[in-house]
């Protein structure tokens, strides 16, 4: 496959463990990283530097994503560009996803349609995610772009890109999804890659990183 057949690669990274992930609602929705979360951020940063050279680095505005992106940016010598629209999704959209009567059914139960009227929360989430993504795709043709965000947001974005709204996608803290645009369609290169997290352990204190947010 020649280089000119590849127009853009997306690395969708979930932030490291947050206090909200660990402690629940009492920590607050926009909590920062736990000590384990900082360790996961360092592991994914080190792995990306070796395995996936990145041209541009973006982040959700939420604190846990920005902190993870700052660690990656420091490791790779990249500034973090914060983009509104990549924030985490909220659970009500789950009830609007298509359901199947059994595991071998080829079509969802009758009546499901993706539209502002039939699936308002899910449709609005897809539109919100596409608003910041479209200019990224236009700006970074031929490049590899990493975006640090959230599990629900990335699952929804992947479903919308692949046209598979019936699929639930698991994303661990610090894991990476990779997609590439090839031959006029999206290629799903891998999902929830996380071998770099095997030795992540909680340190006594989170490491200090310099902020590089623009």
Topology given in CATH for the domain delimited by 7-96+112-197: Rossmann fold (3.40.50)
d(CA 192, CA 185) in angstroms, rounded, equals 21
pLDDT at residue 193 is higher than 90:
yes
pLDDT score of 38 more than 80: yes
Residue 202 has what pLDDT? 63
- Domain boundaries defined on the chain: 7-96+112-197
Q: What is the pLDDT of residue 183?
A: 87
Mean pLDDT of 139-148: 96
In this prediction, residue 28 carries a pLDDT of 83
Of 108 and 156, more confident: 156
Could you tell me which residue, 24 or 123, shows the higher pLDDT?
A: 123
User: Considering the chain, what percentage of its residues have pLDDT values greater than 70?
Assistant: 91
| pTM of the complete model | 0.89
Q: 134: part of which helix (H) or strand (E)?
A: helix 120-139
Average pLDDT over residues 199-212: 48
Task: Say yes or no to pLDDT of 6 above 80.
Answer: no
- Is the pLDDT score of 211 beyond 70? no
What's the CA gap between 44 and 23, in Å, rounded?
Answer: 23
Cα separation, 202 vs 98, in Å, equals 39
- Neighbouring residues of 206: CB distance < 8 A, sequence distance ≥ 6: 33, 35, 37, 38
pLDDT recorded at residue 99: 87
| DSSP code string of 21-45 | HHHGGGG-TT--B-HHHHHHHHHHH
Q: How far is CA 14 from the centre of its chain?
A: 5
- Looking at residue 24, what is its pLDDT? 84
Is 149 in contact with 61 (CB distance < 8 Å)?
no
- What CA–CA distance (Å, rounded) separates 171 from 83? 20
- pLDDT the model gives residue 203: 56
What region does 183 belong to: left with phi over 0, alpha with psi -120 to 50, or beta? Answer: left
């Amino acid at each position: 496959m020649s280089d000119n057949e590849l127009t853009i690669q997306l690395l969708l990274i979930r932030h490291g463990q947050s206090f909200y992930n660990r402690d629940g609602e009492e920590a607050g929705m926009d909590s920062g990283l736990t000590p384990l979360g900082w360790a996961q951020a360092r592991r994914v940063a080190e792995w990306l530097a070796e395995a996936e050279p990145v041209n541009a680095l973006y982040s959700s505005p939420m604190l846990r994503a920005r902190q993870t992106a700052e660690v990656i940016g420091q490791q790779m010598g990249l500034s973090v560009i914060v983009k509104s629209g990549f924030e985490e999704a909220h659970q009500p959209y789950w009830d609007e996803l298509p359901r199947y009567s059994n595991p071998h059914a080829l079509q969802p139960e009758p009546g499901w349609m993706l539209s502002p009227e039939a699936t308002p929360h899910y449709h609005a989430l897809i539109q919100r995610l596409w608003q910041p993504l479209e200019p990224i795709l236009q700006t970074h043709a031929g490049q590899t772009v990493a975006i640090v965000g959230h599990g629900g947001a990335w699952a929804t974005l992947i479903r919308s890109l692949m046209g598979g709204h019936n699929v639930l996608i698991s994303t661990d803290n610090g894991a990476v999804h990779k997609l590439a645009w090839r031959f006029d369609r999206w290629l799903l290169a891998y999902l929830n890659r996380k071998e770099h997290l095997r030795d992540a352990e909680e340190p006594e204190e989170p490491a200090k990183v310099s902020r590089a947010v623009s």
